[in-house]
Amino acid sequence: MTDKNPRPPDSPDDDFTNQWPLELSEYLNFDDDQWPDDYPESFVSGHVFSHNNQANEVGNFGGSSTHFEESSSRDVGNEREKKEVRDRVAFKTKSEVEILDDGFKWRKYGKKMVKNSPNPRNYYRCSVDGCQVKKRVERDKDDPRYVITTYEGIHNHQSYI
């Protein structure tokens, strides 16, 4: 259990989104805290990119379309001290494997079967000490060839691997 609350005040914030190693073909931001029960398939349509810059690190990235979603209460400004200050970022990536290397070390801490999906959902956590970033990975129930990765929180460190 970790009742400590690190996160130095000098740590960079949402800037990390700018240094994302991946090129996002599209980016969607929802005003709501959650997505609809059933995201339409139009979500996944077209825009198939070929990321070559990352391919040198992982061979699994050959040809993948990535969709980016962001939901966070940055407009409120005053709600910084709330318990839900975590940034929720959802990626939809076309991949045969679920283990997409985003440049960070993740330790799997749980697997669960959600009723809305015939496929299990995997829970990962950043292995770096002080970094409480969590990651949720599951396959699309309508398109098993797509993988939905949801990131929660901001990394305490900027170095990856």
Min. distance of Cβ 145 from DNA in angstroms? 20
One of 51, 67, 88, 125 touching DNA (CB under 7 A): 125
The answer to whether 107 contacts DNA (rule: CB under 7 A) is yes
CA distance 92 to 148: 4
Cβ distance to DNA smaller for residue 65 or 147: 147
Tell me phi and psi for residue 67, to 5 degrees: -110, 140
Q: Which of the ranges 8-16, 37-45, 53-61, 122-130 carries the binding residues for DNA, by CB under 7 A?
A: 122-130
Min. distance of Cβ 18 from DNA in angstroms? 26
Token pair in block for residue 55:
């391919």
User: How many chain residues interact with DNA (CB under 7 A)?
Assistant: 20
For 2, 83, 124, 160, the CA distances from 121, given in Å and listed in that order, are 24, 24, 10, 24
- Residue 116 near residue 123, CB atoms below 8 Å: no
Binding site for DNA (CB under 7 A): 1-2, 105-116, 121, 123, 125, 127, 134, 136
